[in-house]
């Protein structure tokens, strides 16, 4: 199998000279389980850290991260590329690029300043007109949100003495900051005293089990545990919101996934947002946004055949499940830690799925592991399977190619090949290694 490898170069303090060509097993085989081989440099380019293929043409696009640009390259041989036109500006520290399924445009995201850029593509795949999308606003900043207040949670509790769980309170407009303060025992209410415990809250809600294993509530509890009650008093009402940030935050656009019905999703790691767009030949129009719990840091996404969108969070190493409702609006449905065995200081990187959609694979930098999860209930729910050693240092990116997992080790300067047990979904030991300078991305060549 033929591969393109993106890596960091001299402008990011590393040694790669551009996009590299490699093989996994026999070059023309559909399987990737054989020995890894570096063919050589396909084309010189400054730090092409993310690559994307045109869906119909032999054209590869690269995010030139340090330069904040996107470049196009046409294939000139089995293992060679050549520049196609001139690069275009795409925002400070451009970290991701994705091409529309019809090949009409691409979208680039910039970690440095949060810019999302729409770039038209012509019939040859050449980069055309660029249009910056609407900038994001921090949903947890009261000033940006217009200082709006939410319905009083205490009154809402009185109206729903038999409510099924706390999540429904959030969805009905409960003030998340008040709810967090109540759960912390800091604010007496008509129904819950300041010394109320979990049993009292459960009794009020008509429940006999803990309702807090839910992403929309877990963020509230995190705020109740970590944030002083005085700060909670002024929080913003959002599904999963806690309190306002204690420091100014920076938008950090990170990833793009094309959705059904002509929609596009992008993540903003800095503002804890998944943003849903509509695209046209002239650019992008924001349709709506989904706010994840404060401080989670949504990084990368994977679209499942069921239609669910899975989002891995860099800061908290969680995976959230989003889906579209009957009205077409996307919302948070459930979530889970990427692995109960992750270590303090871990940060999540890539999220991919198996070919049949049964398993998800999340890379965890720090512990340098791959979390394996199984998809259940037609995509609505995911559960832990295993935590596997990646065999490298800092797994920046990985791809699943049938029964093989290829992992790019940014700090160990190598790519590792691990076999996957297709019955259990669990990767085994490293079978092959390939020395590569600071690999960042692995792309299957056409």
Of 164 and 372, the one with more pLDDT: 372
pTM above 0.85, yes or no: no
Helical H runs in 193-275? 198-205, 215-226, 229-232
Average pLDDT over residues 208-219: 43
**Quick one: what percent of the chain has pLDDT higher than 90?**
74
State the DSSP code for 149: -
Whether 429 contacts 420, CB under 8 Å? no
| pLDDT tier for residue 248 given thresholds of 50, 70 and 90 | confident
27-47 residue pLDDT tens: 999 999 999 999 999 999 999
Nearest-CA neighbor of 44 among 83, 11, 86?
A: 83
192 vs 205: CA distance, rounded Å: 11
Helix (H) or strand (E) holding 157: helix 153-159
SS3 content of the chain, % helix, strand, coil (to 5): 15, 45, 45
365-413 residue pLDDT tens: 999 999 999 999 999 999 999 999 999 999 999 999 999 999 999 999 9
Q: Write down the mean pLDDT value for the chain.
A: 84
Other beta carbons less than 10 A from residue 440's beta carbon: 24
309 vs 382: CA distance, rounded Å: 12
Region at 438 (left for phi over 0; alpha for psi -120 to 50; beta for the rest): left
Distances (CA, A) of 158 to 178, 199, 206, 208, 221: 14, 17, 12, 19, 21
**Please, what is the Cα angle at 196 between 195 and 202, to 5 degrees?**
175
Q: At what angle do helices 215-226 and 176-183 cross, to 10 degrees?
A: 60
Position 145 scores a pLDDT of 53
Other beta carbons less than 10 A from residue 289's beta carbon: 20
Is a pLDDT exceeding 50 seen at residue 210? no
Whether 268 contacts 251, CB under 8 Å? yes
State the DSSP code for 136: P
Q: Which two tokens stand for residue 251?
A: 């938008």
Of 244 and 307, the one with more pLDDT: 307
61-117 residue pLDDT tens: 999 999 999 999 999 999 999 999 999 999 999 999 999 999 999 999 999 999 999
| pLDDT tier for residue 444 given thresholds of 50, 70 and 90 | very high
| pLDDT tier for residue 237 given thresholds of 50, 70 and 90 | very low
416 vs 30: CA distance, rounded Å: 18
Position 335 scores a pLDDT of 92
Position 144 scores a pLDDT of 62
């Amino acid at each position: 199998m033929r591969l393109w490898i993106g890596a960091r170069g001299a402008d990011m303090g590393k040694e790669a000279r551009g996009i590299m060509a490699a093989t996994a097993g026999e070059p023309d085989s559909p399987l990737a389980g054989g020995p890894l081989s570096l063919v050589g440099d396909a084309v010189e380019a400054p730090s092409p850290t993310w690559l994307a293929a045109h869906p119909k043409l032999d054209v590869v696009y690269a995010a030139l991260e340090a330069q904040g640009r996107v470049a196009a390259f046409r294939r000139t041989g089995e293992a060679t590329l050549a520049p196609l036109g001139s690069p275009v500006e795409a925002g400070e520290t451009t970290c991701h690029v994705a091409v529309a399924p019809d090949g009409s445009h691409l979208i680039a995201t910039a970690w440095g300043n949060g810019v999302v850029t729409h770039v038209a593509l012509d019939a040859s795949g050449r980069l055309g007109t660029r249009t910056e999308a609407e900038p994001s606003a921090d949903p947890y900043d009261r000033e940006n949100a217009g200082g709006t207040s939410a319905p009083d949670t205490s009154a809402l509790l009185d109206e729903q003495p038999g409510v099924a769980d706390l999540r429904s309170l959030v969805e009905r407009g409960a003030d998340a900051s008040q709810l967090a303060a109540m759960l912390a025992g800091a604010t007496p209410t008509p129904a819950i005293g300041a010394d109320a415990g979990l049993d009292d809250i459960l009794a009020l809600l008509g429940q006999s089990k803990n309702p807090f294993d839910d992403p929309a509530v877990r963020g509230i509890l995190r705020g109740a545990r970590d944030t002083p009650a005085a700060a909670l008093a002024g929080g913003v009402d959002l599904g999963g919101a806690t309190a306002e940030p204690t420091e100014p935050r920076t938008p950090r656009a990170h990833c793009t996934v094309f959705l059904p019905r002509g929609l596009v999703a992008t993540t903003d790691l800095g503002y804890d947002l998944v943003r849903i767009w509509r695209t046209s030949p002239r650019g992008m129009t924001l349709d709506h946004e989904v706010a994840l719990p404060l401080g989670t840091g949504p990084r990368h996404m994977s679209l499942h055949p069921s239609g669910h969108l899975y989002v891995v969070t860099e800061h908290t190493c969680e995976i959230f499940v989003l889906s579209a409702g009957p009205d077409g609006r996307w919302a948070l449905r459930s979530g889970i830690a990427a692995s109960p065995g992750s270590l303090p200081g871990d940060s999540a990187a890539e999220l991919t799925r198996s070919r049949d959609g049964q398993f998800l694979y999340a890379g965890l930098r720090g512990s340098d592991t791959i979390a394996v999860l199984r998809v259940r209930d037609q995509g609505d729910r995911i559960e832990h399977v295993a935590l596997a050693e990646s065999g490298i240092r800092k797994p920046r990116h990985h791809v699943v190619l049938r029964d093989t997992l290829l992992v790019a080790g940014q700090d160990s300067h190598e790519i590792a090949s691990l076999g996957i047990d297709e019955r259990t979904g669990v990767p085994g030991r490293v079978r092959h290694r390939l020395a590569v300078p600071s690999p960042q991305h692995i792309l299957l060549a056409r």
